[in-house]
A and B are shown apart, each in its own frame.
Chain A
């Protein structure tokens, strides 16, 4: 491949951020940001179209020496798992710009620059094949995200941003220690593929597993290190929430898939029951917390904890359906929860309230808004026919195979999700129209529709015809299973 496609995808938003610095008018800033993210999305589609689904090998690889003395290279590449997330990140990038069009009123230029830098770094994380490069992207993400929450957030933004920063940094430090241990144990290389091929002794694997666990569990987040998430979500501007839920949470799970499972297979198998238990705990506990919320954003935030529990459950079921389901579910969660945060943002812009108790009868005043809200609510509760149901069915199927009792606990979480989501929808959209009296609510406009429609498309597409998505990840998932179980146990 002569065109360095991945570099283009990763660096385009960064270059766009530089261009934005020289723009004066706010409208020019907005349109340029939209153009850049749109182009980036188009490039990621080009990447997916050219993606060879028959192999687990890294594709579109690029390697340039960076710090040869330490074995650090600028190495990019994608397999089926990361390809899907590159696309998801690009998709939510343009959604975020559209969601911030009028919601961000001050320092528009600076905000859009932060968004674009953030996007470049997130794409870098998914494309990096060099551990050092990965770590740079991973850590650097903290800065724009800190700014997005801390500068453009709500009233408690400083506290929330700081909490987010501290939690993630604490996790990252352990990750750094793990990286250094890996570097020396693995023959002084940062090449992720070479490190994956290493056969580390079990005690080393175990220590590394826990170092990585804490780092990734904070990101996912798993109970009990989840408490930063509701604060961050509630305070973050809509675009921040979309990125946070849509992409950042996936990075923890991606870490498990890229590092823990292939590099530490024996430890992963050994600790899998523990991980399944933590996952089931997150599913049920997150669901119970969501049930008790009156704040729309908190409700969606806690539901994310529950839904990400399904993701980790699928991963540590360590079988084909579990892995397929959890990766698909990550994509689904990005689309659906991203959309739900977008919808909370849309209504907040109109009424400046996120309290469910303030709403009622929205169906009467904003029928288009509430119809799409219904679609995404049903998707989030995994109604058959929507994207999440396919993922949930696969995860549960794999989960039952791994551990019947914990699979049953996960079903309880699914039941809870129906309870809090349908309850939320009923109180917000149905009943007598109470909001219309106090606020003049306008239904969605064309710009908002442009943000909503692609997400709605994926809800139904993955729900009814998930085959193309499963094909993209298929070879990589099967290879991952071989790495974990050896050739024989690759069921």
Chain B
């Protein structure tokens, strides 16, 4: 099918950018300002959705603006992989926008204008990355995302905020100004272009295997947002941000940008063939398996709920990379749809953590005994999302893990099946006790008073919990897209 030329990819980015500007202009009219984000989110989602039919039927929506350097254009392309990321981000922005208003108002947070403006810009950057047609365009949005999320991380402007945000920026910028920069310069030198090419830009170049291997690992660690160990420490540090940020950005937009970039490199820069030929697939698979297991063990030891969720994210991100580098079609599909599955479930879990904090001021799991009786909706949603993270049907996580497991068998790598199973047990071990304590343990006397659900916070998290189940029952949309990537 011929590519469709349309301004819609740019329009989707522009909506969020304009929303950020509008928010800044309306800084002293709070009610109106707060309305901007949900409206922009709905418009953005509609624009993204309007491209879905074309992409689902195997086409792409292209927009080439101008040439930056010979072989490098400022260009956009909505293809199957980009649509997975863009759909998830724009859909969840609607929910997160509502949630943020409830959360920020309830806690009387300061600097709300800056918060909402940076939030909207982050979404512009995420969708810009999703629709980027080459590495240059992608990296521009990648870096914008690092920068505009920085004020969101230091939001509280206290000691903890400054040190956490410093670590955040040091890791992300450090990786991109060293490994990523070198990878880009070398790729441009070797291939004379930075375009994404089906089958791999570097597939047929004349370069030594050693050099290509170096370039590959420069990408893998340069895109630190993917949080492959040892480049993961920024993510727990970013948890000092207000919870809506942790939810949409540090469970969906930012981290998915990282794995999305890694998938782009595997599929469209190196190509599955070259990654296999150089033996990089298996090497990466072992590397991310280590991350999967180690991060789960870290998660087990954390009592702070958001920290536990952060380490769980580190672990789950590596599932996505694992799926891609196993290089079997089924495993790749599993990895790609895990972008969506993990997003729906993890955002729910973070929303729950925020809801608990808003309602009771509690952050530590050990203080949450019996809280399920005060916050039944919140803890109910938490339980559903936990099931999805563990991979129990009929939730979204089951579908992606099923494909991943089947894929590792198909690839003849049964060792990774063991990794997946062990990890699932660990997931159960660090998620289920939270639900158990919340519903079955006795509530301490002093914390009973005045803890109740906050509607504007609870409704969004119930919605995302429902999404987690819906995707488990109707995974067709994401499966079709993933199939389009693999084909």
With A393-B184, A393-B188, A426-B166 as contacts: A418 and B67 at CB distance below 8 Å? no
Per-residue interface assignment for chain B, residues 172 to 209, with 1 indicating a CB less than 8 Å from any chain A CB and 0 otherwise: 01100110011011101100000000000000000000
Q: Are B74 and A415 in contact (CB under 8 A)?
A: no
State whether the Cβ of A431 lies closer than 8 Å to any Cβ in chain B. Answer: yes
Interface string of A425-442 (1 = CB under 8 A from B): 010001110000000000
Residue of A nearest to B194 (CB): A393
How far is A426 from B147 in the complex, measured between Cα atoms in Å? 12
For chain A, residues 191 to 232, give those with C-beta under 8 angstroms from any C-beta of chain B.
none
Question: When the two chains form their complex, are residues A400 and B140 in contact, meaning their CB atoms are under 8 A apart?
Answer: no
Encode contact with A along B111-143: 1 for CB under 8 Å, 0 otherwise.
000000000000000000000000010011011
Q: Which of A149-157, A382-390, A450-458 forms part of the interface with chain B?
A: A382-390
Do A394 and B66 touch (CB < 8 A)? no
Is B182 within 8 A of A464, CB to CB?
Answer: no
Interface residues of B in 33-79 (CB under 8 A from A): 66-69, 74
Q: How far is the CA of A110 from the CA of B144 in the complex (A)?
A: 45
Q: Is the CB of B185 within 8 A of A407?
A: yes
Report B-chain residues with C-beta under 8 Å of the C-beta of A417: 177
Contacts of B169 in A (CB 8 A): 422
Residues of chain B contacted by A430 (CB below 8 angstroms):
154
Residue of A nearest to B74 (CB): A464
Residues from chain A with a CB closer than 8 A to the CB of B410 are none
Given contacts A394-B69, A467-B66, contact A414 B178 (CB under 8 A): yes
A9 to chain B, nearest CB (A): 30
Assembly CA distance A383 to B144 (angstroms): 9
Among A321, A383, A417, residue most surrounded by chain B Cβ atoms (within 10 Å): A383
Q: Does A408 contact B (CB under 8 A)?
A: yes
Assess whether B173 is in contact with A384, with CB atoms less than 8 Å apart.
no
Q: Is A136 part of the contact surface with B, judged by Cβ < 8 Å?
A: no
Determine whether the beta carbon of A385 is less than 8 Å from that of B140: yes
Q: Look across to chain A and name the residue whose beta carbon is closest to the beta carbon of B146.
A: A383
Contact A397 B144 (CB under 8 A): no
B147: contacting residue among A378, A390, A415, A465, CB under 8 A: A378
Across the interface, do B181 and A396 meet the contact criterion of CB distance under 8 Å? yes
Taking a contact as CB atoms under 8 Å apart, the answer to whether A432 and B68 are in contact is no
Size class of B's contact patch? 20 to 34
What's the Cα separation between A247 and B472 when bound, in Å? Answer: 63
Query: Chain B nearest CB: distance from A336 CB in Å?
Result: 16
**A 369-396 binary contact with B (CB < 8 Å = 1; else 0):** 0000000001001111100001011101
Complex-state Cα separation, A390 to B186, whole angstroms: 14
- A70: Cβ under 8 A from any B Cβ: no
Decide: A414 near B177, CB < 8 A? Known: A390-B68, A466-B69. Answer: yes
Q: Is B162 an interface residue (CB 8 A)?
A: yes
Q: Which residue of B lies closest to A378 (CB)?
A: B147
B367 at the interface (CB under 8 A from A): no
Which residues 155-172 in B have Cβ within 8 Å of A in the complex? 157, 162, 166, 169-170
Give the docked Cα–Cα distance between A394 and B74 (Å).
16
Contacts A397-B189, A400-B185, A415-B174; A383 near B143 (Cβ below 8 A): yes
Chain A interface extent, by class: 35 or more
Q: How far is the CB of A418 from chain B (nearest CB, A)?
A: 4
Q: Specify which chain B residues have a CB less than 8 angstroms from the CB of A394 in the assembled complex.
A: 69
Bound together, the chains give a CA A384 to CA B169 distance in angstroms of: 16
Is B139 within 8 A of A470, CB to CB? no
Whether B189 pairs with A390 at a CB distance below 8 angstroms is no
- CB-CB under 8 A from B67, the residues of chain A are 467
User: Quick check: is A412 within 8 A (CB to CB) of the other chain?
Assistant: yes
Q: A465 — nearest CB in chain B belongs to which residue?
A: B66
A467→B186 CA distance, assembly (Å): 21
CA distance A303 to B108 in the complex (A): 42
A158 contacts B by Cβ under 8 Å: no
Q: Indicate if A8 sits at the interface (CB-CB under 8 A).
A: no
Asked whether, in the complex, the Cβ of A321 is within 8 Å of the Cβ of B189, the reply is yes
The residue from A385, A404, A465 contacting B144, defined by CB atoms under 8 A apart: A385
Residues of A within 8 A of B181 (CB): 392-393, 396, 411, 414
The docked-state distance in angstroms from the alpha carbon of A408 to that of B170 is 20
* Among B136, B154, B178, B188, contact of A384 (Cβ-Cβ < 8 Å): B136
Q: How far is the CA of A385 from the CA of B196 in the complex (A)?
A: 19
- Chain A residues lying within 8 Å of B211, measured Cβ to Cβ, are 404
B177 and A390 form a contact (CB under 8 A): no
CA distance A430 to B156 in the complex (A): 12
Residue pair B68, A400 in contact (C-beta under 8 Å): no
Separation of A170 and B358 alpha carbons in the complex (Å): 70
Contacting residues of chain A (398-423) with chain B, CB-CB under 8 angstroms: 398-401, 404, 407-408, 411-412, 414-415, 417-419, 422
Q: Which residue of B lies closest to A321 (CB)?
A: B189
B144 to A, closest residue via Cβ:
A385
Bound together, the chains give a CA A418 to CA B189 distance in angstroms of: 23
Q: What distance in Å separates the Cβ of B258 from its nearest Cβ neighbour in chain A?
A: 16
Tell me how far the C-beta of A64 lies from the nearest C-beta in chain B, rounded to whole angstroms. 40
A151 to B67, CA, bound (A): 48
User: Known interface pairs A390-B69, A415-B174, A415-B177. Does A400 touch B189 (Cβ–Cβ under 8 Å)?
Assistant: yes
In Å, the complex CA distance between A220 and B147 comes to 32
A128 to chain B minimum Cβ distance, whole angstroms, is 32
Cα of A50 to Cα of B211 in the assembled complex, Å:
45
Whether the Cβ atoms of A385 and B143 lie closer than 8 Å is: yes
Docked pose: A470 CA to B69 CA in angstroms:
9
- Known pairs A408-B182, A422-B173; list 16 more (Cβ under 8 Å): A321-B189, A383-B147, A385-B143, A393-B181, A393-B184, A393-B185, A393-B188, A400-B182, A400-B186, A401-B189, A411-B178, A418-B177, A419-B174, A432-B157, A467-B66, A467-B67
A-B contact pairs, 17 of them (CB 8 A): A383-B143, A384-B139, A384-B140, A384-B142, A385-B140, A396-B182, A400-B185, A400-B189, A408-B182, A411-B181, A415-B174, A418-B174, A419-B170, A422-B169, A432-B157, A467-B68, A467-B69
The 4 closest A-B pairs by CB, nearest first: A396-B185, A418-B177, A385-B140, A397-B189
